[in-house]
């Protein structure tokens, strides 16, 4: 990258509406930071794109000079592929425009938008598309890996609501992908990650939601974990699609509705969201309270956008994070026992094990219909190792890996590509399962030189 100093960079700058940050420049260090503080990479240059054409120019320039490229959307991915050492970061985060057409119930979204940006724009019209549960996550990376959250049981995966996209391909061309134009590319974007090009515009289907929803937390003592988890597993198998309930077991944060003596103690929390009439939801969630004797609860009708931000304080950037994830079609007794065993010996106060419930509408799509294929995954379990200092790395990573290995025999097929860490490249084919062979062919068609390889990489066929 040294060769890029001087006149070459000036040439690039002259082609861009945005700017280029080199090491040492003001803003360079902020621009290379991502959510997971385990990743500390020093790119040779960061192109802060200010227009779709900047993306074209950046791709053509990188190709011309044989540069290693990484793509940054929201910068949340745990594997850290948004930044590369010595290479060329195409940073899309300044591209934040959202246009909502309430009549056709569609949103056109630029790739620097966070979930909060998109939710705010759509909820202004009482509409939403299913997204994740942490509002600072990037829409781009979340969508390209599949995308699920509170609304997914009712409305499907985020990719099931992706109608079209504008893409800059590896040869620097702008193409449109929809059901009628480059339909194979749209299929690949619906879960195939950043392998096929840079998406400069997403078009989503929207649905009436809220704007207020019944949602909140019910918190149980950890010594009731077995009955609570067992009843959670059975309840979630038959609950209506409008209701979603997730489970998280961790040490209690200092939440005001919990007695002070509980703060810092292990707990089991059920997080719930009902996407229909709150009065109906109240009746449906009543049995949850009887799963045990709760320490406390904070459940009520609140703006959907507020619930979408409820977990943000626990998921701030800057901590060290290591994840391992399995899919489960059913949570049986053995899996529940392993969860309780490892949740009983958390190696740091911020570590947690959570079970995100999907199923419902996500399971009613054929596995081969989109690149995301885990349609039998009714639960996505994530062991979330999270801590502050490097001297805790070994202990916390070791705990996460051991839990993952011990729970593996009870997991179902596939894995959520967006939860894979940088050391899990050997799980990519397994994660995609039945769609992997077609993804390899598509990669060969759209990116035969593997120009886009800082990702959960699908290598081209040849």
Residue nearest to ligand FAD (CB): 141
Cβ-Cβ contacts under 8 Å for 172 (sequence gap 6 or more):
56, 59, 60, 63
Measured from the CB atom, the residue of 123 and 136 that comes closer to ligand FAD is 136
Determine the 3-state secondary structure of 360 from DSSP: helix
DSSP character at residue 5: T
Q: CA-to-CA distance for 68 and 157, rounded, in angstroms? A: 31
Q: For residue 194, which of 160, 130, 143 has the smallest C-alpha distance?
A: 143
Measured from the CB atom, the residue of 340 and 377 that comes closer to ligand FAD is 377
Token output for 75:
């910068």
86 close to 106: Cβ distance less than 8 angstroms: no
Token output for 288:
């949850």
Question: Footprint of ligand FAD on this chain (CB under 6 A)?
Answer: 35, 71-78, 81-82, 92, 111, 132-134, 137-138, 140-142, 144-145, 147-149, 193-194, 198-199, 315, 418, 454-455
Q: CA-to-CA distance for 253 and 255, rounded, in angstroms? A: 6
Taking the complex as a whole, the smallest distance from the CB of residue 356 to ligand FAD amounts, in Å, to 7
Measured from the CB atom, the residue of 396 and 454 that comes closer to ligand FAD is 454
Measured from the CB atom, the residue of 82 and 335 that comes closer to ligand FAD is 82
Measured from the CB atom, the residue of 150 and 274 that comes closer to ligand FAD is 150
Taking the complex as a whole, the smallest distance from the CB of residue 146 to ligand FAD amounts, in Å, to 6
Taking the complex as a whole, the smallest distance from the CB of residue 23 to ligand FAD amounts, in Å, to 20
Measured from the CB atom, the residue of 202 and 410 that comes closer to ligand FAD is 202
182 close to 274: Cβ distance less than 8 angstroms: no
Taking the complex as a whole, the smallest distance from the CB of residue 45 to ligand FAD amounts, in Å, to 17
Taking the complex as a whole, the smallest distance from the CB of residue 219 to ligand FAD amounts, in Å, to 20
Taking the complex as a whole, the smallest distance from the CB of residue 72 to ligand FAD amounts, in Å, to 5
| Beta pairing class for 379-387 and 320-328 | antiparallel
Token output for 374:
């885990």
| Beta pairing class for 127-128 and 106-109 | unpaired
């Amino acid at each position: 990258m040294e060769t890029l100093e001087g006149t070459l960079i000036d040439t690039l700058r002259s082609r861009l509406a945005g700017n280029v940050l080199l090491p040492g420049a003001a803003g360079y260090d902020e621009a290379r930071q991502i959510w997971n503080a385990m990743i500390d990479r020093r790119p040779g240059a960061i192109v802060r794109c200010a227009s779709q054409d900047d993306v074209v120019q950046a791709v053509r320039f990188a190709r011309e000079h044989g540069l290693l490229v990484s793509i940054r959307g929201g910068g949340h991915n745990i594997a850290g592929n948004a930044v590369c050492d010595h290479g060329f970061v195409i940073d899309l985060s300044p591209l934040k425009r959202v246009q909502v057409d309430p009549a056709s119930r569609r949103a056109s979204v630029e790739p620097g938008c966070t979930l909060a940006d998109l939710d705010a724009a759509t909820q202004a019209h009482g509409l939403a598309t299913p997204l994740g549960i942490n509002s600072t996550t990037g829409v781009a990376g979340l969508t390209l890996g599949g995308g699920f959250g509170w609304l997914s049981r009712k409305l499907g995966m985020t990719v099931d609501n992706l109608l079209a996209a504008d893409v800059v391909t590896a040869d620097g061309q702008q193409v449109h992908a929809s059901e009628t134009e480059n339909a194979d590319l749209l299929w690949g974007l619906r879960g195939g990650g950043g392998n096929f090009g840079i998406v400069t515009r997403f078009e989503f289907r929207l649905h009436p939601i809220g704007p207020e929803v019944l949602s909140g937390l019910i918190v149980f003592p950890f010594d009731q974990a077995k009955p609570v988890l067992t009843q959670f597993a059975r309840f979630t198998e038959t609950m209506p699609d409008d209701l979603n309930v997730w489970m998280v077991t961790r040490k209690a944060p200092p939440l005001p509705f919990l007695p002070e003596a509980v703060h810092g103690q292990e707990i089991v929390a059920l997080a719930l969201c009902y996407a229909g009439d709150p009065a109906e939801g109240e009746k449906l969630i009543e049995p949850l309270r009887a799963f045990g004797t709760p320490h406390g609860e904070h459940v009520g009708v609140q703006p959907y956008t507020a619930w979408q931000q409820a977990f943000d304080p626990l998921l701030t950037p800057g901590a060290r994070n290591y994840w391992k994830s399995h899919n489960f079609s059913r949570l049986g007794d053995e899996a529940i026992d392993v969860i309780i065993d490892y949740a009983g010996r958390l190696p740091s106060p911020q570590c947690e094990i959570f079970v995100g419930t999907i199923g419902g509408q996500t399971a009613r799509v054929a596995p081969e219909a989109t690149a995301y294929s885990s349609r039998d995954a009714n639960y996505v379990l994530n062991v979330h190792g999270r801590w502050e200092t490097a001297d805790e790395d070994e202990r916390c990573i070791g705990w996460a890996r051991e839990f993952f290995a011990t729970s593996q025999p009870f997991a179902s097929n596939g894995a959520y590509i967006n939860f894979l860490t940088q050391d899990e490249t050997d799980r990519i084919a397994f994660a995609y399962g039945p769609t992997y062979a077609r993804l390899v062919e598509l990669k060969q068609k759209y990116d035969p030189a593997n120009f886009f390889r800082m990702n959960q990489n699908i290598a081209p066929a040849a």
